[in-house]
Amino acid sequence: VRFALVQEAIFSQEFHKPTHMLLLNYFAEAEGVVRPNEEILEWAWVKAEEGLSFPLNTFTRKLLERYLEEV
């Protein structure tokens, strides 16, 4: 696990509820099965570069772009 970046979301329209959040992002590897809950309906394991073609919210896109800068 290593630190990636901090992002601030102030009442972003991209989230379901109007909240002010500090997003503390880390890079990590995991093994196992994805377990869906109320926060995730769909997922896909893809190469990082392919992830940019998905309809990501701006905060997830920025995190992925940061990852791609470092690899």
pLDDT tens for each residue of the chain, 71 residues long:
999 999 999 999 999 899 999 999 999 998 888 888 888 888 888 999 999 999 999 999 999 999 999 98
Q: What pLDDT was estimated at residue 13?
A: 94
C-alpha distance from residue 26 to each of 11, 13, 16, 18, 62 (Å): 22, 23, 23, 24, 12
pTM of the predicted model, to two decimals?
0.85
